[in-house]
Amino acid sequence: MPELPEVEALTRDIGARLAGRAVARLDIVALAALKTFDPAPGALSGLFVGGVCRHGKFLDIGVDDIHLVVHLARAGWVRWRDELPDTPPRPGKGPLAARLLLDDGSGLDFTEAGTRKSLALYVVRSPDDVPGITRLGPDPLSAAFTLEVFAAILAGAGRAQIKGILRDQSIIAGIGNAYSDEILHVAKMSPFKPADMPAGDVARLYDAMGRTLREAVARSDGVAAADLKHEKKAGLRVHGRAGESCPVCGDTVREVSFADSALQYCPTCQTGGKPLADRRLSRLLK
């Protein structure tokens, strides 16, 4: 799933390609992906792209006074095409969800792999018209996201597990399953640790969050959209690496599986050397 660093890199890459370009049309291929009806997709035709920005994991393409907002969900992606056919694509069951065609024949394909289709597109007059954006918590890379703000968030979360707090978009925007694993590994902290932790642990986790996300953004800077998935995977230390050696201590990276996801962690670095056998049975706090 694209998370904050990848969406930030997409924002920069796509923004540079689209700035000042005219839209020929927006073709919706997967009809269920379009979540709005007013303005209609045809309202973008003939307008110029003013800029591209990010709201958490949402990609926002500003076209004059209209916004095309995209949430890539678990398996969505954006692909730049130097040349696209002029004929609109026909609705079907393939990976193509939508196509943004520019006036010179180039453009963007929004695709989604797999059978569980969750990619969402919104054509709105303001990003605030997208419910998911209005519910977002603060951005962890914004100047306003201070240690004091983070400490207040954790204090308000009580005994909730820190892994879930980091992933909850209504609490902190942009962090998903992968980077929450990475942040907790850098912080040397169990994913099951309660959020109401001592001040020293709060500061350590806050520092780990900022460093992990900023380093990932820096690695992705200048990387084309087509190469971002590979770059992300190459830069991960524990997430998706169950059975491999921890790059810090050499212990074996382990996994805890859930119904539709899994987390990875290093026992030596994060749980005092004790494996987390099961999320319902394990309650390691340090």
| Mean pLDDT estimate for the chain | 93
Question: Which element (helix H / strand E) includes 28?
Answer: strand 23-28
Largest CA distance in the chain: 60
Whether 4-134 shares its CATH topology with 147-270 is answered: no
- State the Cα–Cα distance between residues 18 and 172, nearest whole angstrom: 29
Q: Show me where the domains of the chain are located.
A: 4-134, 147-270
The model's pLDDT over 191-239, given as tens digits with 9 standing for 90+, comes to 999 999 999 999 999 999 999 999 999 999 888 787 888 889 899 999 9
Helix pair 199-220, 228-235: axis angle to 10 deg: 140
Nearest-CA neighbor of 83 among 99, 95, 67, 69? 99
End-to-end CA distance of the chain: 28
pLDDT digits (tens, 9 = 90+) for 142-160: 999 999 999 999 999 999 9
Phi then psi for residue 48, to 5 deg, are: -110, 140
Tens digit of pLDDT for each residue in 17-70? 999 999 999 999 999 999 999 999 999 999 999 999 999 999 999 999 999 999
Percentage of residues in the chain having pLDDT higher than 70:
97
HSE at residue 124, side-chain half, CA atoms within 13 A, is 19
Which CATH code for domain 147-270?
1.10.8.50
pLDDT at 282 over 50: no
Assign domain 4-134 to a CATH class.
Answer: alpha beta
At 233, give phi and psi (nearest 5°).
-60, -40
281: confidence class by pLDDT, cuts 50, 70, 90: very low
The residue-averaged pLDDT of 151-179 equals 97
